[in-house]
Amino acid sequence: MISYLTELNKLSESINKAIKEYGIATSAIYVGEPTETSFGDITTNAAFVLSKTLRKSPYEVAKDLIEKIEFSEEDIAVELHSSGFINFRLTDLFYLKFLNQIIKNQGYGKITVPEKKKIIIEHTSVNPNKALHVGHARNVVLGDTFYRLFKRLGHQVTVLNYIDDTGVQVADLIVGFKYLGYPLESDEKYDHYCGDVVYVNANKAIEESEALKKKRGEVLKDLEQGGEIYRYARPIIEKIVKEQLKSAWNIGARYDLLNWESHFVHGGYWKKMFEVLKEKGLIKFVTEGKHKNCWVLLDKKVLVRSDGTAVYTAKDLTYAAWKLGLIPDEFYYSVFTKQPDGSELYSTSLDGGLKGLYKPADEAYILIDQRQLPLQNLIKDALKALSASKDYKVIAYGLVALSKNTAEKIVKGKVEKEIVHMSGRSGIYYNLDDLMEAIKQVALKLINERNPTLPEKEEVASKIAVAAIRYSLMRPDLDKQIVFDINDALKLEGDTGPYIQYTYARASKILEKSNNEVSLLNQIKLSEEEKRLLLQMSKYDYYLFKAYSSTSVTALANYVHELAFAFNVFYEKKRVLDEKDSELKKMRIALVYAYKQIILDAMNVLGLPELKEL
């Protein structure tokens, strides 16, 4: 394998080896990208770190150290900077080998972690009583992107979606249908109808009526017990889930398994969990104080009330433990539906189907918004105490709120606050399907202006919308709150998903016109733009691993944008097809070919749909 990362690792090793000759225990030696590209491709601050103990200037140390570092001069050139940084540059020969490798492999090649793991990732998990809004979309996009990343790195990944079909939100909806007379059918998309009309109004009515509150309590109890009302509700819920899935599929997501909360409840999983917790001494029965007669987890959180019923966190904990195989799996599994990517989506079941379909995971990831972090960390601590070898990983992200502007459009009136939080209950949210449609219309308009003869405009516009939505939701750092503004969301220029798709289309067009005549190179002569593009291309694996080890796709998305930018600069400055020098032309075709392979690979990881033309 020839890549930036492999060269970086080799250098890092040999720098550390060279430092050992000084007999100094090293810590925090940086070997990596320099702050500015003009300094080189790889840099190290080793001389600064050593200068303290050696009592010499960084430059003096670097001058000496540089002689001790071993590397292949074929691939790397070294430079000593007057500041004391040692900078390395990849050579033309390195790039020649790198290009040929891609041409031979017809792609970047295998990028595999040293240790393949069984990973479970849970995302989406939206209450099945309404449509997905842009806040849920952040969860779906991040979850699906991590799934794609793990998969790309060679892990065995299972994607779960948890359906809370026994909660209050569903109970509200059922009250609306059963006692408030809302019709069971509608011409509207069903999840929109249920969320926008039935749930919002039912909730309002329930809050205002003690009698309805009592009814809701009965519904809730029946859902838990799997009685008559549960059987009435089940088909309604399934219909909503199917619509929610469509919205998620539309932006490129897929799942392996639906976990129904009712199956955990009716299957008695909490009782099993309770026994495990008791046996390991993680929960204690409290005999006095404010938690008298309750069972408390890790001296922090009540899990069983004084009346003997379990709190919601108990269900969360049970589910988490099940993922890691800490309680036995007694479910049956059956096919719920077929997905657009051709795969089958399974569902848990209590009566009939396959058994033991899913093996416990080594690592279980869950995507949550920041508000749930304290609770999920508690679960993480509890699981750690149950089994040290298993890893429960929480990926928390900032909330998606609405800008004042956008909120005013939804409530159709004045809004005081600069930022408005979405709320399914009060009907303040921007639905994902609506966003898709709005961006699609903008894209369609652009296509009609710029490329009116393009075939399958609708489909192309959809793919542009997917790229725009996914990129904008994965690009900000996880910690950052996103203030969603519809006017900003409709912009398709600059640092966006479509920008990246566009460079792929440009590369595809050139290759198509060259009749795809790509062949291995014997020599190489590179301009600044070409070298810069190749450098970016060689860094692909470096950023994939970085995204995995830091559990963040921000830097990866950023990198892909820079890669696309490097291609655009090359494209502006150098001609490919009308280049007179045949060797140069051959080299540039190879370069474009390699770019296309890598950007496509990257787009697959980020879930940006491929477009040969737009």
Partner RNA sequence: GGGCCCGUAGCUCAGCCAGGAUAGAGCGUCGGCCUUCGGAGCCGGAGGCCGCGGGUUCGAAUCCCGCCGGGCCCGCCA
User: What's the gap between Cα 554 and its chain centre?
Assistant: 10
Pick one of 185, 208, 416, 493: the residue that binds RNA (CB under 7 A): 493
- For the segment 445-474, give every residue that binds RNA (CB under 7 A): 446-447, 450-451, 460, 464
Residue span binding RNA (CB under 7 A) among the ranges 98-106, 182-190, 324-332, 490-498: 490-498
H helix intervals, 199-311:
200-208, 210-225, 228-250, 261-266, 269-279
- For the segment 87-106, give every residue that binds RNA (CB under 7 A): 87
Residue 247's alpha-carbon distances to 15, 255, 338, 611, in angstroms, are 51, 13, 15, 21
Pick one of 180, 197, 298, 555: the residue that binds RNA (CB under 7 A): 555
Is residue 414 near RNA by the rule CB under 7 A? Answer: no
x-marked contacts with RNA along 11-30 as a string, rule CB under 7 A:
-----------------x-x
Cβ distance to RNA smaller for residue 210 or 493: 493
- For the segment 356-395, give every residue that binds RNA (CB under 7 A): 370-371, 373-375
Structural contact between residues 552 and 116, judged by C-beta atoms closer than 8 angstroms? no
Pick one of 19, 58, 593, 605: the residue that binds RNA (CB under 7 A): 58
Count of positions on this chain that bind RNA (CB under 7 A): 97
Is residue 578 near RNA by the rule CB under 7 A? Answer: yes
Helices 540-550 and 582-606, axial angle in degrees (round to 10): 20
CA atoms within 13 A on the CB side of 362: 8
Q: Using DSSP, state whether 184 is helix, strand or coil.
A: coil
Checking phi first, is residue 545 left (phi over 0); if not, alpha (psi -120 to 50) or beta?
alpha
Report the nearest approach of RNA to the CB of residue 345 (Å).
25
Cβ distance to RNA smaller for residue 337 or 554: 554
Is residue 220 near RNA by the rule CB under 7 A? Answer: yes
Residue span binding RNA (CB under 7 A) among the ranges 136-144, 341-349, 383-391, 564-572: 564-572
Is residue 568 near RNA by the rule CB under 7 A? Answer: yes
Structural contact between residues 507 and 459, judged by C-beta atoms closer than 8 angstroms? no
- For the segment 510-539, give every residue that binds RNA (CB under 7 A): 510, 513
- Tell me the residue type at 451: N
- For the segment 263-282, give every residue that binds RNA (CB under 7 A): none
Q: What is the largest CA-CA distance in the chain?
A: 89
Is residue 571 near RNA by the rule CB under 7 A? Answer: yes
Cβ distance to RNA smaller for residue 197 or 375: 375
Is residue 80 near RNA by the rule CB under 7 A? Answer: no
> How would DSSP label each residue in 46-86?
HHHHHHHHHTS-HHHHHHHHHHH----TTTEEEEE-TTS-E
Cβ distance to RNA smaller for residue 51 or 247: 51
Pick one of 313, 334, 349, 387: the residue that binds RNA (CB under 7 A): 313
Structural contact between residues 565 and 595, judged by C-beta atoms closer than 8 angstroms? no
How many residues comprise the chain?
614
